[in-house]
Amino acid sequence: MGENNLKNSAFNATALRKIKTDLLIKKDQIMKDLTDLARKDSHETDNRTTAFPEYGDKPDENAQEISEYSANIVTEKVLEDSLEDIESALKRIEKGTYGICKYCQKPISAKRLQARPTASSCVACKTELQAE
């Protein structure tokens, strides 16, 4: 399944496999990051993740803890969004529509996909959408 559609895509099977592998690696990394964050949220000590510096015995320690907590929520949101982007990019690879703009159905430039492998729209449509 899907293989028949590959010829409609801007990518050959080998290039798509490479992209898919990269996306899967990225997905694994994000899942791991989310797990690490969840662990932080439950206030378990985990010194393996040193994304945040250790705070001393300062009076404003609580405030720092709160801002660290909301930073985690923001990070979690960003990670979840990236995960969603990756999932849908993987689905598009399966369907043979990867690299095709979802708005105008034209191929997305290879340059754009290199910079943003999860892009689902071409630069022109993206720019138009942002202008609205």
Which residue's CB is nearer to Zn ion, number 103 or number 109? Answer: 103
- Least gap, CB of 112 to Zn ion (angstroms): 10
Which residue's CB is nearer to Zn ion, number 47 or number 105? Answer: 105
Which residue's CB is nearer to Zn ion, number 8 or number 35? Answer: 8
Which token pair is 71? Answer: 């930073």
CB atoms within 10 A of CB 118: 20
Residue 113: Cβ-neighbour burial (10 angstroms; 0-12, 13-18, 19+)? buried
Which residue's CB is nearer to Zn ion, number 40 or number 121? Answer: 121
Instruction: Give the residues lining the site for Zn ion (CB under 5 A).
Output: 101, 103-104, 122, 125
- Least gap, CB of 28 to Zn ion (angstroms): 30
- What one-letter code names the amino acid at 1? M
End-to-end, the C-alpha distance of the chain in Å comes to 38
CA angle 40, 46, 50 (to 5 degrees): 85
- Least gap, CB of 13 to Zn ion (angstroms): 24
- Least gap, CB of 11 to Zn ion (angstroms): 17
